[in-house]
Structure 1
Amino acid sequence: MPEVQDIFVKYGTSYRKNHKLPLHISKAMSSIQDCRTSALGGHVEVCEECGTTDISYNSCRNRHCPKCQTLTKERWIHQQKSNLLNVKYFHVVFTIPDALNSIAFQNQKIVYDILFKAAAETLTELALDKKYLGATLGFTSILHTWGQNLMHHPHIHCIIPGGGLNNLGKWVHSRKKFFMPVKVLSRKFRGKFLYYFKKANLEFHGQQRYLSDPLDFNAFLTPLYQKEWVVYCKSPFKDAAGIVEYLGRYTHRVAISNRRILSLENGQIRFKWRDYRDNSKWKVMTISAEEFIRRFLIHILPPRFMKIRHYGFLGNRNKATKLKVCKELTHTPTIPEAIISTIQLIQRITGKDISKCRCCGSDKLSRYSYFGKSPPAISQIA
């Protein structure tokens, strides 16, 4: 089965010649192309008992690389287990209209920050209203910028415990369904987003250049105030156990996983995608390699941009105090965060103990790192 890396190796050079790429996108592309190849160096493991030798290449560790997210995801999930409460959880998604997508792409950091801010303030302010909950929430927000067809589709996933802390320091449970109507969420979010969007220092290029005129910009925004924005809440989780794996599905996902790519032939890429507009049916899409690369690179985030953010009593300022109180009030057992090694994580994922020889099972392994395209000869290691 072909991978994103294979597509970059075969067609990346010609794509770079035909398109001028920003430095951070070019670097991400190079990292994915070189991941787990001799270009990044590697290490040699020699069993002192039977002499078995294994050569492994280094990972690129780029957050957009399909190969490098499994281990990072598992480590993040392990760290988050200590933050879970003994309550049900809700999953809420905030989406902006398609008409804003091209502007968002031209102003990624600004618009993505507005998306986070508008969603967070919407949830926080409505939850404080006694009409709905009357308490302070704690939640995690995750940015995704793609749809199943790899087109640009910015949206925020929010994972929210079912309740919060009120002014008296007591825990207030939410209703069985989400604690506020989705239509109220949608309209509040729309107002918040457009308020910050109008104040932002945006740039307009290409077909969007006409929006530099304030009159045209206001005329462009007017229909968006009348449109119902898509905000929806999925069914709640009954306990914290189910949310752990669910979190991992969203936190470290990249635009497309390698397992969805079906073939790479004659410059054409075939991949599976789920059509949510047609009862979530799985379909197959065929596009050119150049178009595939273009769509994939759309989703390379700006440098140092935080795609996972925590709010309320899950924020860094409150975790040491308010989260502790929330655990006591929700009868959540306090589990100290155990340090887990990379070897333990790999064993959990694959079922293999890489600290032992694959042939004789001995744990007497000598490991040698090297840099450069060729590993040293065994005689040189000895």
Structure 2
Amino acid sequence: MSAFIQLLRAHKGELERLHGHELTTDMRCAISALLRCKTEQQGRSQWYCAHCHHDDRLPLSCGHRHCPQCQQRTTADWLQRQHRKLLPVHYFMVTLTLPYQLRVLARYQPKALYQTMFHVGTQLLKDFAHHQQQGELGFTAVLHTHSRQRNLHPHLHIIVPTGRYDASKQAWHRSDKRYLFNAFALAKVWRARMLEAINQSNELWLPMGIPKQWVVDCRRVGYGKAALDYLSRYLYQGVLPDRDILRTSDHKVTFRYRDGQSKQWHTRTLPTLQFLLLILQHVLPKGLQRVRDYGYLRGSASELLKRIQLALLPLFYVMPTIVTPIRSKATRPCPCCQHDMDCVGITRPR
């Protein structure tokens, strides 16, 4: 069982008693799902091996997107779908961050703030592409809510392939693989549009002391596979992997994190209840989609993406082969003969 879920089960009563007023409805739903995960309360799945006729029954996982112990399949499937969309061109990763003063909005109005970030950030890239070069831009935007120390730090990672598609001419236009957009110009417009959107919102407010300079990072990431692999590690496997939780006791938890500048490992020790709140604050609001595709990478543009891939077909021969078939149904290896077992039934508790 996940170390975080064990801590949550052991300290749930104390957490409710001392910090119940800080738990949102979404946090409570996540807690309920995580405590049921892979227990008799969740139900059981029945598996059958056609090779050796072995029969097995296993407790069901909760399927909650913040559960650290049951989203590995979801991560693998998402990564395979993104690999199918990769183009044989160089990629950039644009990171749009918010200053410290605005992070309080993520605590009290997370859904409104995150939706605003998606709307402003994606329109920002579309407008820059429109002014610099004709043709449609394709990109994938991913919301992250935490820093390496797991503090609240909402930001958008946007993976952008270089090049544009001109639908009127049905032609692909190459771009400079060394340059996408000016990061300083992006930061100025990002700041101005976010402040304008917050001022016009009925749910958000503008705190005092907003800095005049914001940070936007725009860097080349090769063919894109490394960036997708990086993002996949944070999407469906919980905020903090079990391997990074080093020590737990009745009163304290110690976990490790890698510093972004020095690349060295550091540790952080917190009281147990504070640690639980630190992780739970990253539970996303219900219905908020944290990964979104735009332009010719969106789901409804699959035919357009195929035409682009056909136009770039000669370049695929120099691109590393990374695509593997997506499994159409759930399977698991048989403990007796190692052949695939199929799920043949689900039993729910009455």
Q: 1:64 is aligned with what amino acid?
A: H
Q: Which residue of 2 aligns with 1:341?
A: 328
Task: Give secondary structure in 2 for the equivalent of 1:359.
Answer: coil
Q: 1:231 aligns with which of 216, 222, 246?
A: 216
Deviation at residue 61 of structure 1 after TM alignment: 0.3
| 1:307 corresponds to 2:281 | no
Q: Which residue of 2 aligns with 1:298?
A: 281
Task: Give secondary structure in 1 for the equivalent of 2:178.
Answer: coil
Q: Which residue of 2 aligns with 1:118?
A: 120
CA root-mean-square deviation: 3.0
Change (3 A) 1:327 1:280: same
Q: Could you tell me whether the CA contact under 8 Å between 2:255 and 2:268 is conserved in 1?
A: yes
Q: Which residue of 1 aligns with 2:308?
A: 326
Change (3 A) 1:365 1:25: closer
Identity %: 26
1:14-93 mapped onto 2 (5 Å cutoff): 14-18=14-18, 19-20=20-21, 21-45=23-47, 54-93=56-95
Deviation at residue 175 of structure 1 after TM alignment: 1.5
1: CA distance between counterparts of 2:193 and 2:93?
A: 20
Deviation at residue 269 of structure 1 after TM alignment: 0.6
2: CA distance between counterparts of 1:244 and 1:108?
A: 25
Task: Give secondary structure in 1 for the equivalent of 2:310.
Answer: helix
Q: Could you tell me whether the CA contact under 8 Å between 1:92 and 1:157 is conserved in 2?
A: yes
Q: Could you tell me whether the CA contact under 8 Å between 1:262 and 1:270 is conserved in 2?
A: yes
Deviation at residue 127 of structure 1 after TM alignment: 1.2
Q: 2:253 aligns with which of 240, 252, 269?
A: 269
Q: 2:214 is aligned with what amino acid?
A: W
Task: Give secondary structure in 2 for the equivalent of 1:193.
Answer: helix
TM-score, structure 1 normalization:
0.80
Q: Which residue of 2 aligns with 1:188?
A: 189
Deviation at residue 58 of structure 1 after TM alignment: 0.5
2: CA distance between counterparts of 1:74 and 1:117?
A: 27
1: CA distance between counterparts of 2:294 and 2:345?
A: 43
What is the aligned residue count? 341
| 1:257 corresponds to 2:228 | no
1: CA distance between counterparts of 2:9 and 2:67?
A: 14
TM-score, structure 2 normalization:
0.86
1:183-222 mapped onto 2 (5 Å cutoff): 183-202=184-203, 220=208
The Cα offsets for residues 122-147 of structure 1, whole Å up to 9 and x where unpaired, read as 111111123xx443210000001111
Deviation at residue 90 of structure 1 after TM alignment: 1.2
2: CA distance between counterparts of 1:142 and 1:364?
A: 34
Q: Which residue of 2 aligns with 1:145?
A: 145
Q: Could you tell me whether the CA contact under 8 Å between 1:2 and 1:262 is conserved in 2?
A: no
Q: 1:370 is aligned with what amino acid?
A: T
2: CA distance between counterparts of 1:305 and 1:367?
A: 32
2: CA distance between counterparts of 1:147 and 1:47?
A: 44
Larger radius of gyration: 1
Q: 1:311 is aligned with what amino acid?
A: Y
Q: Could you tell me whether the CA contact under 8 Å between 1:2 and 1:261 is conserved in 2?
A: no
Q: Could you tell me whether the CA contact under 8 Å between 2:254 and 2:268 is conserved in 1?
A: yes
Deviation at residue 338 of structure 1 after TM alignment: 5.3
Deviation at residue 82 of structure 1 after TM alignment: 2.6
1: CA distance between counterparts of 2:338 and 2:94?
A: 47
Q: Could you tell me whether the CA contact under 8 Å between 1:104 and 1:112 is conserved in 2?
A: yes
Change (3 A) 1:308 1:50: closer
2: CA distance between counterparts of 1:365 and 1:88?
A: 40
Deviation at residue 293 of structure 1 after TM alignment: 1.2
Q: Structure 2 unaligned runs (5+)? A: none
